[in-house]
Amino acid sequence: MSENKITLAHGSGGQLTHELIKHLFVRYFANPHLSRLTDAAVLSLPDLRVAMTTDSYVIRPLFFPGGNIGKLAVCGTVNDLAVMGAKPLYLTCGLIIEEQFDYETLEQIVASMAHTARDAGVKIVTGDTKVIERGNGDGLFINTAGIGVCEYQFPPAIEIGDKIVINGTLGDHEIAVLSARQNLGFDFEVASDCAPLADLIVHVLKAHSSVKFMRDPTRGGLAMVLNEIVEEQPFGIALDETEIPLKDAVRGICAVLGFDPLYLANEGKVVMVVNADDAPRLVDTMRAHPLGRDSRIIGEIVDAPQGMVYLRTTIGGKRIVDMPVGTQLPRIC
């Protein structure tokens, strides 16, 4: 690692984050759980497999269309467990609050956490609060850690022909937060997709044993998740641009501001790699759930180019979808 300073890009979820984790944390904390680089740790406790995960939430503004930092802090951690095939059970909640933070605002956020936890079927069982001097923090940071019991057994290796499935439109969360922060002044509002996915995922896994991989495309977006799937693997991924679900408003804002929706953060989306034969039926199952109504097959595992993700564009071309490098967008989560 040649840099001597931490930059915003180290926290962007892109390649530099990836390198920081590999070169620093995996190196020092070396253990078999951590080096799998998944979002949650699967722990062999004496009698059962428990998944454990953590995430800090530093989003600004604290409130945005469709959610707030508290709702997000529960959804994000619940989703990290759910995509591991675990049933989320228990969360911790660590707050870092700047002094003079408004008490009623805090109450609203805590109430939202509680509400979302009930929705998601998890309990917040322990917590910690630190208050820091004014000027040293930015209002409120929340960390949640969570554990769940692993119930789903992922079938073996990903194969050529497997389908890529997503449960709905891309980029809603990032556009919602950016609009709220920047006062972009568009005359339509996009609400964040922020939602706990555990119920949808359980619903799908009960009916299907064909799901080989799941991940929630948050920071770094779909592009990041797909690049992690193919990294150093003997296969690639082809995405079909026409199949990628986008809200008209998001498509419009991306066109105007030059954003690529594949890199936008989501907080209520899950990407799955699914056995080809079962994929259409699985999409039907997902569509029967409120959080899966816009589910689609958006691409597939291909034999070449290996280790890469490309997009078959609407006009019949091909475009490489790289791992995000640095920050194409202002940091929002």
Ranges within 18-47 binding its own copies (CB under 8 A): 20-21, 24-25, 28-31, 33-34, 38-41, 43, 45-47
- Minimum CB separation of residue 264 from its own copies in Å reads 18
C-alpha distances in angstroms, 190 versus 72, 174, 273?
A: 16, 9, 28
Closest C-alpha to 214, from 271, 136, 261: 271
CA–CA distance, 192 with 211 (Å, rounded to integer): 26
Contact pick of 22, 61, 123, 257 for its own copies (by CB under 8 A): 123
Contact pick of 101, 233, 240, 252 for its own copies (by CB under 8 A): 101
- Minimum CB separation of residue 187 from its own copies in Å reads 29
Number of Cβ within 10 Å of residue 50's Cβ equals 19
Closest CB to its own copies among 86 and 254?
86
Closest CB to its own copies among 146 and 292?
146
- Does residue 130 belong to the site contacting its own copies (CB under 8 A)? yes
Residues 137 to 156 in contact with its own copies, rule: CB under 8 A: 137-138, 141, 143, 145, 147, 149
CA–CA distance, 147 with 245 (Å, rounded to integer): 31
β-strand 236-240 against 296-302: which pairing, if any? Answer: antiparallel
Contact pick of 22, 61, 111, 257 for its own copies (by CB under 8 A): 111
- Does residue 62 belong to the site contacting its own copies (CB under 8 A)? no
- Does residue 7 belong to the site contacting its own copies (CB under 8 A)? yes
Stretch that binds its own copies, among 6-14, 177-185, 191-199, 246-254 (CB under 8 A): 6-14
- Does residue 117 belong to the site contacting its own copies (CB under 8 A)? yes
Closest C-alpha to 112, from 11, 198, 221, 194: 194
Q: What DSSP letter does each residue of 138-179 carry, written as one string?
A: -SEEEEEEEEEEE-----S---TTPEEEESS-SSHHHHHHHH
Closest CB to its own copies among 110 and 191?
110
Kindly state the tokens that stand for 245. Answer: 């679900």
β-strand 49-57 against 67-68: which pairing, if any? Answer: unpaired
Closest CB to its own copies among 58 and 207?
58
Contact pick of 22, 48, 155, 182 for its own copies (by CB under 8 A): 48
CA–CA distance, 309 with 323 (Å, rounded to integer): 9
- Minimum CB separation of residue 153 from its own copies in Å reads 16
> How many residues of this chain bind its own copies (CB under 8 A)?
81
- Does residue 329 belong to the site contacting its own copies (CB under 8 A)? no
The dihedral over CA atoms of 150, 72, 120, 98, expressed in degrees to the nearest 10, equals 100
- Does residue 328 belong to the site contacting its own copies (CB under 8 A)? no
- Minimum CB separation of residue 96 from its own copies in Å reads 5
Write down how long the chain is. 333
H/E stretch holding 18:
helix 15-20
